Chain A
Amino acid sequence: MNSSPLNVATAANWPPEIGQFVTFKSMDTLKTGYVKLVQWGLVWRDIVLEDGRVIPEHKIIGCPETPVGWRNAQDVSQEEREAAEERLVTMSQAGLDPRDREQAFWAELNQYLAYTYLRFKDTGVENKDIDAMQNLREGRR
């Protein structure tokens, strides 16, 4: 294994627990808060703090350098994707300011765009390859 003991320990302790005090990067500064909730988005976990700020897990100091348990884009159901799209549209139409970093709209929009990228450009899996896999599953050749 290439993982250093530090990485192994960090990955084993990830994600942070509810109530844990965490430090995170925001632009060029460090901020802190207490974890209220850890929730899955379309790709990665979001850490919701007690004051309502939403922090992507990779911004938290101590997050393993490579993702732990990230979801595959193909594992997101149509219902879940459409629900995320509805929430985004509702938030934008409600006039929420997407410039508010660390708020739900910014966090969800960032994650949705990352997911959309992976959905179609999934690490070298071209659309034709996805078609071929689908055909095999459906018994066509």
Chain B
Amino acid sequence: MSEPNDEGKKQRAWKSLQDAGLVEIAMEEFPERISEAKRTVIGRLNELMQAQNRMEERQSLAHSLGALKNLETTLRSDVSSSRKK
């Protein structure tokens, strides 16, 4: 059974995703969405670099950043090659 606050949080999450256009992303928007996510991860990493701790979270963020960079490269080249066709 979920708590009322928990349900409220989930409804806010749903609204937040709808407002951000992340419930269903159009294909042509994926590269930009990935870039946004990457910028957010970099921002958080920068915050942690000043904190001198939270190594586990830093490593986790570094992993996410690597995955996002990889996806960004693949999808950007994929979208641009499909536009040329």
Contact = CB atoms under 8 A, between A and B. Distances in A.
Q: Do the two chains bind? A: yes
Contacts, number: 99
Contact of B9 (A58, A72, A109): A72
Contacts of A117: 16-17, 20, 22, 37, 40
Query: Interface centre among A56, A85, A97, A124, by most B CB within 10 Å?
Result: A85
Contacts of A132: none
Interface residues of A, number: 39
Interface in B16-62: 16-17, 20, 22-25, 27, 30, 33-34, 37, 40-41, 43-44, 47, 51, 54, 56, 60
Determine chain B's interface SS by DSSP, over half rule. helix
Interface of A: 43, 56, 58-59, 66-67, 69-70, 72-73, 78, 81-82, 85-86, 88-89, 92-93, 97-99, 101, 106, 109-110, 113-114, 116-118, 120-124, 127, 131, 134
